[in-house]
Amino acid sequence: MSQAKTVLEFSTPTEAEKEASKAVATLVEFAATSNAPNITEKSLVRAVVNFANTGQARDLPGAPVIIVNGQSFCLASPEMDALRAQLQNDLTAVVQDALAGSTLQRLRKDSSRMVQVPIHEMSLGVPTYRYFPMDLSAVLAHTVLMLRDKAKNGLGKDLKQCKLAGCGQFFLSSDMVADTSKGGRPRERFCKPEHMAAAQTPGAERTRQWRASKARQLASLTAAPTKKE
């Protein structure tokens, strides 16, 4: 009876694998000492939601930033406006669980153009990361895809969009506990108490208030200067 001979050999890395391995070593070493923010995934989500709501991208990895007298600023540009509009559409689709196939394809492609290095800052008790994106769209796509996770503790379960017509601000319901001492429940439908109150005003009363305010505006615009006798 013949026995199968055991052959032991090492795989030879390709040139591309060797290059990639060197790049990883360089990046990991850089990440350990980098000034890039060391943040939790939830902090990243907050920064992305803030960009969607306000256009402020200063805290986002990959945002084009200029530094003036030691303070960082993110300049407004048509490209940033377009990224923000696209992000708003993507987040609305996530909230409504209605991401189109073509959108998913774009998000998957964009989200892989970045590296997330685990740092695990012990004081926080949850994993922290430094992000090294090729550009801002990679970070936005990665975050949008993370928000699709609607599992019990998934970040996606937390993302909401204000239901008041004309508002549409995004928020995390876990950031919205009004008063925990009174056992307040996180708000799920409106971004702030004023918007909840406005939405709860009955339709006829709302129309009356709207007409009254329009009439006041019109009166102030058309008020003719009074003639002196």
Contacts with Zn ion by CB under 5 A lie at 162, 164, 167, 169, 191, 195
**CA gap 158, 169 in Å, rounded:** 14
Closest approach, Cβ 198 to Zn ion, in A, equals 9
Q: In this structure, what is the dihedral angle of CA atoms 28, 32, 33, 35, given to the nearest 10 degrees? A: 90
Closest approach, Cβ 83 to Zn ion, in A, equals 22
133: enclosing H helix or E strand? strand 129-133
Q: Are 165 and 195 in contact (CB under 8 A)?
A: no
Cβ closer to Zn ion: 40 or 56?
Answer: 56
Closest approach, Cβ 133 to Zn ion, in A, equals 30
Length of the chain: 229
According to DSSP, the residues that pair with 132 across neighbouring strands are: 115
**CA gap 144, 177 in Å, rounded:** 23
Cβ closer to Zn ion: 117 or 191?
Answer: 191
Closest approach, Cβ 42 to Zn ion, in A, equals 21
Cβ closer to Zn ion: 19 or 175?
Answer: 175
Closest approach, Cβ 160 to Zn ion, in A, equals 10
6's tokens: 């055991």
**CA gap 71, 54 in Å, rounded:** 19
Residues 6+ apart with CB under 8 A from 13: 21
Cβ closer to Zn ion: 53 or 89?
Answer: 53
Closest approach, Cβ 137 to Zn ion, in A, equals 27
Alpha carbon 80 to chain centroid, angstroms: 14
Cβ closer to Zn ion: 37 or 168?
Answer: 168
**CA gap 172, 167 in Å, rounded:** 15
Cβ closer to Zn ion: 36 or 164?
Answer: 164
